[in-house]
Amino acid sequence: MSHLRVLLAAQDADAADQVRHLLRDERDTHFELDWVASFDEALARMVRREYDAYLLSDRFDRRRGVDLLRAALDGGCVEPIILIGPRPLDDLSEALDAGAADALTYDELTPSLLQRVLGCAVERTRFAHMLGEHQERLIQAQRMESLGRLVGGVAHDFNNLLTGIIGYTSILEREIPSAEPSRKSLDEIRKAADLASALTRQLLAYSRKQTLRHTVLDVSDVVEGLADMLQRLIGEQISMTIAAAHPLPAIIADHGQVEQVILNLVLNARDATPSGGHIAVETGQAFITHDRAAAEEVDRTGIFVTLSVRDNGEGMSPHVRAHAFEPFFTTKPFGKGTGLGLSTVHSIVRQAGGFIDVTTDVGRGTLVQVFIPEAQDAQVPVQVEPVAEPLELQAAHHETVLVVEDDETVRNYIREALRFYGYQAVIASDPLAALRLAKDASEDIAVILTDIVLPDMSGMHLAAQLTTLRPSAAVVYMSGYIDARAGHAALPPDAHFLRKPFSPEELARLLRRALNGR
């Protein structure tokens, strides 16, 4: 049996007794009826939204029930309001036009009619609210999709520019001694480019176009691997504890993205925590039921790995909590934050099939809990990043590298970097030119270095065709992101991959690794 709280606003005590009697003979619903005789008291309660439905008398001395109806709706009341009065009810049409759920006369009232009208009005209102919420979510999702496409495209172009900036900066760093006065300016250029690169990664993560290498991960290992960096980031004025659970179920995610989640959450906690405060980072596991999964809109139940970041800082107001994961929303002073930190975390966690729970109150700190489902396929290989070999052991032997890149700045930078390390470069600006060179070039092409995002054809499709023409060539991919919607297949786990932007040293190491493994 359902339970509804109803407020009757009427000056006549006899009318109140009549309604109370009609609702006392309950059938499918239990009605809890309160009565007020004052216009102002009724309005105050309706604005506070303390009830499931309201019954209003059509007259209050010199004021009308329709006037109370309009005032309540203007004050934010969204629950159903039913006008009730003697026959004939002169204000019937006006009440319905003003937003009343229904209008009844006293002489037609029966227990079944009144209870049915109240029950139906409440159900209609709840359904309308639910429909409105779903429509708002759909509109918001469409907005985010459009913004994501825009952001992804801009970040892709910006990544190419950064590849040139960081690349040429690396070349100049080798040529300008550290003692030179101009080296300080070069260091500032490098610092600004690195910050821009980090921001671009956040944009790509938000738009879900970041190049991913999904592997089996232990979140506790990732957290412990960042411990020293986290302590340096939060400074000496804030204490931090890390409680990493062992053993912990594995998850399938991108290692860099999981690090990004941890860093963003800890940095947000740092910014909200005063000097002398404390931040606690913990890992663990939880069992997610079907009801919880449905409420969080995830398609998995069972064991989830948890990552918790708790601070004793200023906390969030309900308004800030409601908008915390929206892109570009920030409470930080101008120039101190991009508003992408938490929205990036939200996108990464959703991509991993998980969800986020936030517990916060103003002045009482914040607890952010990330839930990611455990890996169900234990056969997925663990990706281990190779240790970088010393560059002096990577002397080139004048091998020829076929470079396929549609951006002129990146092409010129790669040509310069390859020349420095002793490679011969054959350059193609599009897939058709690359296929012609592979077919007609007299050189022995040792490595195919191709961008993944190319006009007319993805780099992976192009590599498949090029290796039929040059079977002995190794393949190295480069990109700032992979967009599955544009036909870019996922990279195989053992593929050689350069994430843009990259330095000449990173290029040289990966080329030598690819050549050694041919």
**At a CB cut-off of 8 Å and minimum separation 6, what does 332 contact?**
271
**What is the model's pLDDT at position 27?**
67
219 and 280 in a common domain: yes
Lowest pLDDT segment from 18-27, 186-195, 203-212, 282-291: 203-212
Range of lowest pLDDT (6-10, 256-260, 504-508): 256-260
Q: What is the pLDDT of residue 380?
A: 40
Q: Among candidates 362, 361, 356, which has minimal Cα distance to 342?
A: 356
398 vs 9, more confident? 9
Higher local confidence (pLDDT), 378 or 450: 450
Q: Do both 75 and 14 map to the same domain?
A: yes
> What is the average pLDDT across 64-79?
90
Q: Do residues 51 and 156 share a domain?
A: no
Look at the chain and report how many structural domains it folds into: 4
Question: Of 80-89, 328-337, 341-350, 406-415, which range is least confident?
Answer: 328-337
Find the domain containing 457 and state its range. Answer: 391-516
**Contact assessment for residue 362 and residue 314, using Cβ atoms and an 8 Å cutoff:** yes
Residue 387 in this model has a pLDDT that exceeds 50: no
The pLDDT assigned to 383 comes to 41
Tokens of 141: 């999702």
**What is the pLDDT, as a whole number, of residue 88?**
65
Residues 401, 499, single domain; the answer is yes
Q: Look at residue 344 and tell me whether its pLDDT is greater than 90.
A: no
Residue 321's pLDDT is 74
Between 290-294, 317-321, 423-427, 504-508, the lowest mean confidence (pLDDT) is in 317-321
| Same domain flag for 438 and 362 | no
How large a percentage of the chain has pLDDT more than 90? 30
pLDDT at 86: 77
Same domain for 87 and 26: yes
> Residue 122 domain-assigned?
no
List Cα–Cα distances, 129 to 116, 135, 137, 294, 510, in angstroms: 20, 10, 12, 19, 56
The whole-number average pLDDT for the span 445-465 is 91
Q: Please say which residue of 206, 233, 262 terminates a domain.
A: 206
Residue 145 vs residue 462, higher pLDDT: 462
- Of residues 22 and 88, more confidence is placed in 22
Tens-place pLDDT, residues 132-182: 777 776 776 676 666 666 666 677 778 888 888 988 888 888 888 888 888
Whether 239 and 180 share a structural domain: no
> Over the chain, what is the mean pLDDT?
82
Question: What would the pLDDT profile of 81-139 be if each residue is shown by its tens digit?
Answer: 999 887 766 667 788 888 899 888 888 888 888 888 998 999 998 888 888 777 776 77
Do 310 and 362 have their domain in common?
Answer: yes
Query: What was the pLDDT predicted at 309?
Result: 93
> Given this model, what pLDDT does residue 149 score?
67
Q: Does residue 115 sit within a domain?
A: no
Q: What's the mean pLDDT in 435-440?
A: 92
Strand residues in 313-421 grouped as ranges (E): 355-360, 366-373, 400-404
Distance CA 153, CA 158 (A): 9
A 10 A CB-CB count for 3 gives 9
Whether residue 383 lies inside any domain: the answer is no
Sheet holding 278-288, edge to edge: 239-243, 278-288, 302-311, 366-373, 355-360
Q: How confident is the model at residue 499 (pLDDT cuts 50, 70, 90)?
A: confident
Cα–Cα distances in angstroms (integers) from residue 176 to residues 170, 182, 413, in the given order = 10, 8, 18
CATH of the domain at 423: 3.40.50.2300
pLDDT surpassing 50 at residue 237: yes
Q: In this structure, are 357 and 230 located in the same domain?
A: yes
Residue 385 belongs to some domain of the structure: no
Mean pLDDT on 310-314: 88
User: 150, 182, 206 — which closes off a domain?
Assistant: 206
Res 340: pLDDT: 54
pTM of model > 0.95 = no
* Within-domain flag for 121: no
Q: Is the pLDDT of residue 267 over 60?
A: yes
Q: Is 381 within a domain?
A: no
The answer to whether residues 343 and 230 belong to one domain is yes
Alpha carbon 27 to its chain's center? 47
d(CA 329, CA 343) in angstroms, rounded, equals 9
User: Which residues share a beta bridge with 288?
Assistant: 302
255 has pLDDT over 70:
yes
Same domain, 87 and 41: yes
> Per-residue pLDDT tens for 349-360?
888 889 999 988
Q: What confidence category does residue 376 fall into, taking pLDDT thresholds of 50, 70 and 90?
A: confident
Q: Which of 186, 206, 226 is the last residue of a domain?
A: 206
pLDDT given for residue 489 in this prediction: 52
Residue 127 belongs to some domain of the structure: no
CATH code of residue 223:
3.30.565.10
CB-based contacts of 250: which residues, under 8 Å, 6+ apart? 216, 217, 218, 374, 375, 378
Residues 251, 322 within the same domain: yes
Query: How far apart, in whole angstroms, are the C-alpha atoms of residue 363 and residue 263?
Result: 23
Cα distance between residue 195 and residue 155, in whole Å:
14
Closest CA to 462 of 486, 500, 482, 434: 434
pLDDT of residue 305: 94
pLDDT at 212 over 60: no
What integer is the mean pLDDT of 316-339? 61
Quick one: pLDDT at residue 135? 79
Backbone angles phi, psi at 37, to 5 degrees: -105, -5
Q: Are 300 and 260 in contact (CB under 8 A)?
A: no
- Is 196 contained in some domain? yes
Q: Which residue has the higher pLDDT, 48 or 206?
A: 48
Does the pLDDT at position 226 exceed 90?
Answer: no
